[in-house]
Amino acid sequence: MTQLLASGVKAHDVGRLLGEAGLRFAERTMIEFDGCLLSFGEIADSVANVAGNLAKYGVEKGDRIALYLPNTPHYPILFFAAMQLGAVVVNLTPLDAARELRFKLADTGARVVATLDAEPFSSNAAALLAEGVVDLALIGSDAYWQGADPVAVSGAGMASLDAMIATTSSCPAVHVTSDDLALIQYTGGTTGTPKGAMITHGNLVSAVAMFDAAIAATSGWRPGRERHIDVLPLFHIYALVGVMLRAVAHGETVLLRDRFDPEQTLEDIGRGGATFFFGVPTMFIALLEMPNIAEYDLSSLVYCVSGGAPLPGEVAARLAQLIGRPLVVGWGMTETCGAGTLSRSDEINEAAAIGYPLPGATVEILSFDGDRLPAAVGETGEIAISGPNVMRGYWNRPEESAEAFAAGRLLTGDLGFIDARGQIHLVDRKKDLIISSGFNVYPRMVEEAIYEHPAVAEALVYGAADNYRGEIAVAAVKLRAGQALDLAQLRAFLSDKLGRHELPARLEIHDALPRTAAGKLSRKNLRDASAKREA
């Protein structure tokens, strides 16, 4: 599928976005990173070098390449190099525990991993290589962007990513279509089982065009002139599409930061002239808690979006007062390339309202009966979405792929309703997914790890409200006779089994865990009891 973007860039595939931008905007700054300015032309040349050198290592169209990277210029260079080769990117996260890394690599068959010479990246990559999980580990260093020599590596199966960037090469001609697979992005959805969403070039390019159309219709967006803050992780679909791909398509600058720091973000706005900021609620809460926020001029912000988790109404109101306009809220999923709905920048949103369907997307509320017919206005049902941005299915999971769709519509597992104006309201999640600081936490995965502790007889994990993170994971445990356990001990035990974002923030010891009438352990009872206590 060919999409005509608002800037006039016609892109059939993601690799061409960068290729065309490198020609049209060669002298413009594409990335600002730790004081280093990298132009579109420089990034395009680096991408060609890496693609050519990867081809020399035997990487071909359809091969999977795992990116195990934080926010660094190495990420977009590798991502676009893979796209131009027709290879498929598998995003690993710095939060993944060792066995999660092994699972994703084995599941996708990715035999190449790219990472940095910092911890925990380098030691994990070395272990994966030593165990034969991967054949090639590419190692880079952020010091390279400060003028240091390319990082030196030693050992079989290792190569210097910096040296590949610096070594002139050319990407072989590869025919890539919009239907070709571009990305395998892992998500647990609402089931708790990790699944790789199969995302095509057409899905990604369509999502960019859909975001563009919605933003252009309701904001003061100036294509080619905006400066984007990117503190969201590029390994997450929200930042990859909403920030990086959109900025590249229009020749706009990304202020790339390796982590979120409230003071740095205020500096980027107040003194750096940032105009676009896509974030999650915890970031906005942290900004509001800065004692000197009034000292900064935030008027440069043209467009400010909160996504990834529900935004508290009080936070939205305070931010609107600070920046002089309502905060835009949005909803999307990994399976939809992060694109689903956006609110309008000229209207104040009601609590739990998540905006209107993006142009090109069809969002419906389906009833719960067997026929799954559209619900009436104001009636709560399951949110379903269709459009060119919706994934092909789940990697190696045909049954779950089939279950995810009904008559061509993706069943999201989220509950909501549509009001008379056509705005979507999010009511609740259909199952038990916990969203903590914008990251998905899947209770069943956490429970399975907890069950490995010798003191634990039974375990349930549920989400509890938290003013800062939105939600936290609470572990409710029944211990074996004569055993003892505290939170610190449990977190230490789980540290090599779960990501940091998945570790329980609270531990409850129960004599007996609640059960349903059918005898199943009941998270709902625990969640309801917790909500009553908080109230």
CA distance 401 to 391: 10
- Helix pair 98-108, 121-130: axis angle to 10 deg: 50
Reported as a single tens digit per residue, the pLDDT across 64-123 is: 999 999 999 999 999 999 999 999 999 999 888 898 999 999 999 999 999 999 999 999
Tell me the two tokens of residue 84.
Answer: 């131009």
Helix (H, G, I), strand (E, B) or coil at 20: helix
Count Cβ atoms below 10 Å from residue 518 Cβ, excluding itself: 6
Determine how β-strand 328-331 pairs with β-strand 303-306.
Answer: parallel
What's the distance, Cα to Cα, between the start and end of the chain in Å? 50
- pLDDT tens-place string over residues 246-290: 999 999 999 999 999 999 999 999 999 999 999 988 888 889 889
Nearest one of 45, 7, 46 to 23, comparing CA atoms: 45
Residue 209, helix vs strand vs coil:
helix
Contact between residue 192 and residue 445 where contact means Cβ atoms under 8 Å apart: yes
pLDDT category of residue 518 using cuts at 50, 70 and 90: very low
Confidence of residue 188 (pLDDT cuts 50, 70, 90): low
162-171, 276-285, 518-527: range with highest mean pLDDT: 162-171
> pLDDT over 70 for what percent of the chain?
95
The amino acid occupying position 343 is S
Q: Which two tokens stand for residue 216?
A: 């252009």
Domains observed in the chain: 12-195 (3.40.50.980), 434-534 (3.30.300.30)
Enumerate residues 6+ apart whose C-beta is below 8 A from 151. 117, 139, 140, 141, 143, 144, 160, 161, 162, 163
Close Cβ partners of 190 (under 8 Å, ≥ 6 residues apart)? 413, 429, 430, 431, 432, 433
Calpha distance 433→473 (Å, rounded)? 10
- pLDDT number for residue 191: 46
CB 329 within 8 A of CB 280: no
Q: Tell me, what's the pLDDT at 9? A: 43
Instruction: Assign 330 to helix, strand or coil.
Output: strand
Distance CA 199, CA 176 (A): 14
CA distance 10 to 20: 9
Model confidence at 192, pLDDT cuts 50, 70, 90, reads: low
User: Which position has the higher pLDDT, 229 or 281?
Assistant: 229
Cβ partners under 8 Å of residue 210, min gap 6:
339, 358, 359, 360, 361, 387, 388, 389
Q: Which of 244, 238, 268, 294 is nearest to 440 (CA)?
A: 238
Q: Comparing 160-169, 241-250, 438-447, which segment has the lowest mean pLDDT?
A: 438-447
As beta bridge partners, residue 186 has 196
Three-class SS of residue 315? helix
Q: What is the pLDDT of residues 432-458, one digit of tens each?
A: 778 888 887 878 778 878 988 999 988
Percentage of the chain lying above the pLDDT 90 cut = 69
Residues 478 and 462 sit within 8 Å (Cβ to Cβ): no
Partners of 37 in the β-ladder: 32
Report how far residue 284's alpha carbon sits from residue 321's, in angstroms, rounded to the nearest whole number.
13
> Do 199 and 185 contact (CB within 8 A), yes or no?
yes
Task: Answer whether residue 355 shows pLDDT above 90.
Answer: yes
pLDDT-derived band at 372 (thresholds 50, 70, 90) equals confident
477-513 pLDDT, tens digit each:
999 889 999 999 999 999 999 999 999 999 999 998 8
The pTM of this model reads 0.85
Distance between CA 78 and CA 196 in Å, rounded?
A: 20
Nearest to 243 by CA among 198, 195, 307, 309: 307
Adjacency order of strands within the sheet including 506-509 = 456-466, 470-479, 506-509
Residue scoring higher pLDDT (228 or 438): 228
pLDDT tens for 379-437 read: 988 999 999 999 999 999 999 999 999 888 999 988 889 999 999 998 766 677 788 88
Mean pLDDT rounded to a whole number for the chain: 90
**pLDDT tier for residue 10 given thresholds of 50, 70 and 90:** low
User: Structure tokens of 383?
Assistant: 């949110």
